[in-house]
Amino acid sequence: MSVRILALVGSLRAGSHNRQLAEAAVKLAPAGVEIELYEGLAEVPFYNEDIDVEGGVPATAVKLREAAAAADAFLLFSPEYNGTIPAVLKNAIDWLSRPYGSGAFGGKPVAVVGTAFGQYGGVWAQDEARKAVGIAGGKVIEDIKLSIPGSLTRFAETHPSDDAEVAAQLTDVVARLHSNVGAAV
């Protein structure tokens, strides 16, 4: 049975370079690893404890939780918005952090990577994402780091899949995340 990695992308725009990074990861996943690029984060409403009650959870949030529950590990792709994590990704983390103590991250391995236009490649956002997802119950693999600067120029005409350096870095990220699945906590 394949190891299932759920990819969550913190940008909703159609031409998102973080989405393209995730697409590249899907393509280069080795045999025995299946990466699902989660669709539908835009439809998940802002987290609200008033609706996170039995019978009240929106179907879009239930679907996200089910996809996360079925995953063995998570790969988060985050750009940086105003020096921190985009709201769409933070919202997904918030939904997956509850019910408190039994959220879908459930001690499973999580790696955070991404690209942004700035010279540090969104490192602040990716650090914030690691902090949040760790508090939310994920087992963050702290030494998996990939922050690619200059997104808008570097990927203007080259899809990350066709950028040999990036493809090699992503291959390494996926292999290291995979190696943490089933590892002792």
Ligand X SMILES: Cc1cc2nc3c(=O)[nH]c(=O)nc-3n(C[C@H](O)[C@H](O)[C@H](O)COP(=O)(O)O)c2cc1C
Q: How far is the CB of 59 from ligand X (least distance, A)?
A: 26
Minimal CB distance to ligand X: which residue?
118
DSSP per-residue letters across 143-179: EEEEEE--HHHHTSSS-GGG-HHHHHHHHHHHHHHHH
Binding site for ligand X (CB under 6 A): 11, 13, 16-18, 79-83, 116-118, 122, 151-152
Edge-to-edge order in the sheet of strand 109-115: 33-37, 3-9, 73-77, 109-115, 139-148
E-strand ranges in 78-134 read 109-115
Q: Which is nearer to ligand X, 169 or 180 (CB)?
A: 169
Q: Which is nearer to ligand X, 17 or 178 (CB)?
A: 17
Cβ neighbours for 167, distance < 8 A, ≥ 6 positions apart = 24, 28, 160, 161
As a dihedral over the C-alpha atoms of residue 156, residue 161, residue 164, residue 168, rounded to 10 degrees, the angle is 130
Q: Which is nearer to ligand X, 58 or 118 (CB)?
A: 118
Q: How far is the CB of 52 from ligand X (least distance, A)?
A: 27
Q: Which is nearer to ligand X, 18 or 97 (CB)?
A: 18
Q: How far is the CB of 79 from ligand X (least distance, A)?
A: 3
Q: How far is the CB of 77 from ligand X (least distance, A)?
A: 7
